């Protein structure tokens, strides 16, 4: 199959955006049905201010789902609804020890998390990764008492932290009286092997602050995420933070709760696993078929993005420009490194959630034409 590239003036047709989801699979009729139920007059209290922690029934559903899917042991009282991971991290910052405002973060890592910690006047220590995730030796040497990690599908590398590393990380936290912020985004999507238990599920000493979101699994525009606090943080939360109003629409929370209570959430997750699994396989086959041996794939088997390292001699900017000339947009990872002086080859994020299988095939073929004809 030969794909004719778009004219240079055409908009991007093949956008491998790592944050995009499959919007064709969202059941608008079902969501409309539950929104209509949420707006019935019997729920008129939803027009008033609600519980700062979020709607109780939604928190109960989240606690139940986390217990069955990720082994997270918590009560609804430990769950706090937020309006996105940014909001979750801001909450954690305000609950942290004001006498020791230092944090260790992964390098490379999510740049927005770094910005949030900086704006809250945290001293940041960057910790390198090894093949198992965050490097424990470097973490111990940092003397940080708080660490932010993405162990289920490290962003952006895609590393899935093995259970032995998770257990050793928990031992470090217990022995040093430290805390771990576990951002468990993308944990719903794994394409080979058995799911690895969340850090929180292995934690016997209340050292893990657990973060989750519905953005990748359902829709980012809903602005519903959540924090699961260790019990030892609850009094501080209720004393200091509960003065704030709940930032997420009560009607949207009710709609999601009805969606979950009636069994559609788990059906949706099962459906999306199949859809993203097919797209992942299509992406992998297309890379093998159309990209030459100067490509290295990093961080597969989980989430809705992979990384490709391009070793054809082109610099990052040249690759981006040439790809865009044929209507393909890929995303550099250089901004996620705090210090990438040893960054030998350009590495790009390739999201596949928002593209159809045909567009994935066509986009990779066009990208291959650009890279292989250097």
Same domain, residue pair 225 and 285: no
- Nearest in space to 250 (alpha carbons), one of 26, 42, 43, 31: 43
What is the three-state SS of the chain? Answer: CCCCCCCCCCCCCEECCCCCCCHHHCCHHHHHHHHHHHCCHHHHHHHCCCCCCCCHHHHHHHHHHHHHHHCCCCCHHHEEEECCHHHHHHHHHHHCCCCCCEEEEEECCCHHHHHHHHHCCCEEEEEEEECCEECHHHHHHHCCCEEEECCCCCCCCCCCCCHHHHHHHHHHHHHHCCEEEEECCCCCCECCCCCCCCHHHHCCCCCEEEEEECCCCCCHHHCCEEEECCHHHHHHHHHHHCCCCCCCCHHHHHHHHHHHHCCHHHHHHHHHHHHHHHHHHHHHHHHHHHCCCCEEEECCCECCEEEEEECCCCCHHHHHHHHHHCCEECEECHHHCCCCCCCCCCEEEEECCCCCHHHHHHHHHHHHHHHHCC
The last residue of one of the domains, among 229, 244, 262, is 262
Question: Mean pLDDT throughout 218-242?
Answer: 89
Same domain, residue pair 284 and 356: yes
Same domain, residue pair 250 and 293: no
In a domain, 6, yes or no: no
Percent with pLDDT over 90 in the chain: 65
Same domain, residue pair 235 and 169: yes
Same domain, residue pair 239 and 285: no
Looking at residue 341, its pLDDT comes to 54
Measured distance CA(260)–CA(51) in Å, rounded? 20
Going by their DSSP bridges, the two strands 179-183 and 208-213 should be labelled as: parallel
| Residue 64 CB neighbour total at 10 angstroms | 13
Is the distance from CB of 260 to CB of 61 less than 8 angstroms? yes
Same domain, residue pair 217 and 327: no
pLDDT band at 328 (very low <50, low <70, confident <90, very high): very high
Give the lowest-confidence range in 107-116, 123-132, 214-223, 291-300.
Answer: 291-300
Q: What is the mean pLDDT of the chain?
A: 89
In a domain, 214, yes or no: yes
Backbone angles phi, psi at 134, to 5 degrees: -60, 135
The last residue of one of the domains, among 262, 277, 311, is 262
Looking at residue 300, its pLDDT comes to 67
Same domain, residue pair 252 and 309: no
Give the CATH number of the domain where residue 70 resides: 3.40.640.10
pLDDT band at 30 (very low <50, low <70, confident <90, very high): very high
Looking at residue 238, its pLDDT comes to 87
Measured distance CA(199)–CA(156) in Å, rounded? 19
In a domain, 226, yes or no: yes
Same domain, residue pair 329 and 222: no
The last residue of one of the domains, among 262, 288, 316, is 262
Looking at residue 4, its pLDDT comes to 46
Looking at residue 11, its pLDDT comes to 80
Joined tokens for residue 340: 């990438």
Measured distance CA(49)–CA(58) in Å, rounded? 16
In a domain, 365, yes or no: yes
Measured distance CA(56)–CA(148) in Å, rounded? 27
pLDDT band at 342 (very low <50, low <70, confident <90, very high): low
Same domain, residue pair 198 and 275: no
Is the distance from CB of 354 to CB of 23 less than 8 angstroms? yes
Backbone angles phi, psi at 213, to 5 degrees: -155, 155
Model confidence pLDDT, tens digit, residues 33-91: 999 999 998 888 999 989 999 999 999 999 999 999 899 999 999 999 999 999 999 99
In total, how many domains does the chain have?
2
| Residue 163 CB neighbour total at 10 angstroms | 11
| Residue 297 CB neighbour total at 10 angstroms | 16
190 forms bridges with which residues in the sheet? 302
Is the distance from CB of 12 to CB of 324 less than 8 angstroms? yes
**pTM of the predicted model, to two decimals?**
0.91
Give the CATH number of the domain where residue 339 resides: 3.90.1150.10
> Cα angle at 111 between 151 and 168, to 5 degrees?
25
In a domain, 1, yes or no: no
In a domain, 64, yes or no: yes
Same domain, residue pair 239 and 350: no
Question: Mean pLDDT throughout 323-344?
Answer: 85
Same domain, residue pair 126 and 220: yes
In a domain, 307, yes or no: yes
Domain that holds residue 281: 14-21+266-372
In a domain, 5, yes or no: no
Model confidence pLDDT, tens digit, residues 135-184: 999 999 998 999 999 998 888 888 889 999 999 999 999 999 999 999 98
Same domain, residue pair 45 and 175: yes
Query: b/e string for 265-287 if b means 16 or more Cβ within 10 A?
Result: beebeeebeebbeebbebbbebb
């Amino acid at each position: 199959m030969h794909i004719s590239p778009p004219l240079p003036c055409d908009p991007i047709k093949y956008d491998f955006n790592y944050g995009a989801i499959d919007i064709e699979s969202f059941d608008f009729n079902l969501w409309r049905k539950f929104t209509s139920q949420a707006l019935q007059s019997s729920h008129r209290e939803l027009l008033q201010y609600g519980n700062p922690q979020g709607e109780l029934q939604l928190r109960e559903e989240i606690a139940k789902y986390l217990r069955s899917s990720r082994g997270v042991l918590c009560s609804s009282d430990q769950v706090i609804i937020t309006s996105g991971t940014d909001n979750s991290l801001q909450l954690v910052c305000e609950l942290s020890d004001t006498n020791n405002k230092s944090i260790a973060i992964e390098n490379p890592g999510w740049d927005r998390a770094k910005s949030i910690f900086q704006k809250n006047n945290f001293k940041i220590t960057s910790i390198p990764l090894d093949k198992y995730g965050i490097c424990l030796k470097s973490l111990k040497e940092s003397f940080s008492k708080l660490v932010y990690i993405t162990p289920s599908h490290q962003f952006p590398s895609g590393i899935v932290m093995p259970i032995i590393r998770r257990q050793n990380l928990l031992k470090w936290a217990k022995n040093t009286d430290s805390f771990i912020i576990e951002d468990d985004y993308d944990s719903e999507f794994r394409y080979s092997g058995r799911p690895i238990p969340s850090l929180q599920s292995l934690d016997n000493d209340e050292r893990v602050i657990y973060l989750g979101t519905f953005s990748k699994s359902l829709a980012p525009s809903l602005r519903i995420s959540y924090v699961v606090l260790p019990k030892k943080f609850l009094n501080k939360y209720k004393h200091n933070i509960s003065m704030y109003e709940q930032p997420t629409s009560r009607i949207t929370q009710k709609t999601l709760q009805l969606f979950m209570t009636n069994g559609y959430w788990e059906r949706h997750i099962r459906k999306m696993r199949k859809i993203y699994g097919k797209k992942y396989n299509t992406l992998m086959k297309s890379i093998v078929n159309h990209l030459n041996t100067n490509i290295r794939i990093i961080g597969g088997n989980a989430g809705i993005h992979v990384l490709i390292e391009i070793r054809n001699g082109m610099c990052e900017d040249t690759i981006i420009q040439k790809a865009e000339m044929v209507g393909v947009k890929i995303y550099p990872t250089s901004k996620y490194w705090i210090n990438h002086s040893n960054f030998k080859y350009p590495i790009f994020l390739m999201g596949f959630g928002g593209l159809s299988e045909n567009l994935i095939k066509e986009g990779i073929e066009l990208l291959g034409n650009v890279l292989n004809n250097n």
